[in-house]
Amino acid sequence: MWWIVFVGLFLLADHGSGARLGIHGTHFTYNGHRVFLAGINKAWEHYAYDFGNGQYNGVKARYEHVFQQLQAAGANSIRVWIHIEGESSPKFDSNGHVTGTDNGGTLINDMRVMLRAAQQHNIFVFPTLWNGAVNQNYHYRLNGLIKDTGKLNSYIDHALKPMVLALKDMPSLGGWDLMNEPEGELIPDLTSTDPCFDTRHLHNSGAGWAGKLYTPQELLRFFNWQAAAIKEVDPHALVTVGAWNGKVNTDNFGFHNMYKDSCLVKAGGKALGTFSFYQIHSYAFNGHFGTESPFMHNFGAFGLHKPLVIGEFREKNGAGMTINQLYDHAYNGGYAGGWGWSETDGNMDNMLQGLNHIRNYHSGAHGTIHVQIH
């Protein structure tokens, strides 16, 4: 029988136990128990300047306070942003190649300190590497990695693989989120005989709001190569991307799942470079959720065979649903997790309310388990 580990009272394993967050079918597991990822997006304290170059010292207390708040509310996970567009990490040379994790050489240790604090409060951390929802002054750095495979390889060799290698045994590392909302820079209205690369169904969808910059092939190659590199270093690592909504993450409702395994491998050529679980964001527009919103359906309607986390949502754009109802639907609708948005935007008290609302949920084969490791 599979049980739910939801409340944050289980203790993350020490380094020697080998316990890792894993996947069984369409659910997460930890130490043999089913886990619902209940949590939030922080997602940053100082946008693009939290990690590397000794910067974490200035925000450490804030992160630890958030971990404490989450644990007190029975939560168990958080999404945290790292590079964004390359403002302060990784380290680039004048030609746009990556030569290290950051100029000061502290990025890995900064993340390790953060992950150790999260472990003390039983929180799984999902670092989000890049951001496609905006196009700002340093986007040329990220652009080089997406367009130029030589530059992408320099990032993989000199920053990504060293990060994964150094942090893979941290029990609070839940998984790697390669990019936030890449569809902000996706080109819509592209015609292809291959559904993976055809974006006509995104006509007037809002895709490309940050600039119509990249074809599906370019973005999927970018993800395929990074996912493969992560798994080469850490075969147990979990990898995802934070999709802007369900229009790009399901073959149902008249859309195409551009993030399915076959599309990623077709674009990048690396068999390992697939996602472990899916993540979609959902906000109401003009007071209504779209037909593709997870808040309009249970998980089964998406026809997916991997876990699906509702990676961003909030009461303000909840189509009249309260935060309690939003978290409730994520839990009872068959989804593998729900992360409200966001502590940075001042929604912490509201999200904590929703997390407290579902902290003791159990029904049928779902029971609340307190796993004591130490």
Length of the chain: 374
How many angstroms separate the CA atoms of 97 and 132, rounded? 19
Q: Degrees (nearest 5) of the Cα angle 261, 339, 231?
A: 35
Based on the residue annotation, tell me whether 312 is a catalytic residue of this protein.
yes
How many angstroms separate the CA atoms of 66 and 49, rounded? 18
Q: Which amino acid is at 54?
A: G
Crossing angle of helices 60-72 and 107-120, rounded to 10°: 30
Crossing angle of helices 216-233 and 261-268, rounded to 10°: 100
| Cα 160 → chain centroid | 16
- One DSSP character per residue, 285-321 reads BTTB--TT-GGGS-GGGG--SS-EEEEE--GGGSTT-
State the alpha helices, DSSP H only, in 148-260: 149-155, 161-167, 216-233
Query: Which 3 state secondary structure label does DSSP give 160?
Result: helix
Q: Considering 85, 185, 292, 312, which one is annotated as catalytic? A: 312
CA distances from 2 to 15, 124, 308, 328, 365 (A): 25, 20, 18, 20, 6
CA distances from 371 to 11, 22, 31, 148 (A): 6, 16, 9, 46
Q: Considering 181, 183, 292, 343, which one is annotated as catalytic? A: 181
Is residue 187 packed enough to be buried (19+ CB in 10 Å), middle (13-18) or exposed (0-12)? middle
Based on the residue annotation, tell me whether 181 is a catalytic residue of this protein.
yes
What residues are annotated to the active site?
181, 312
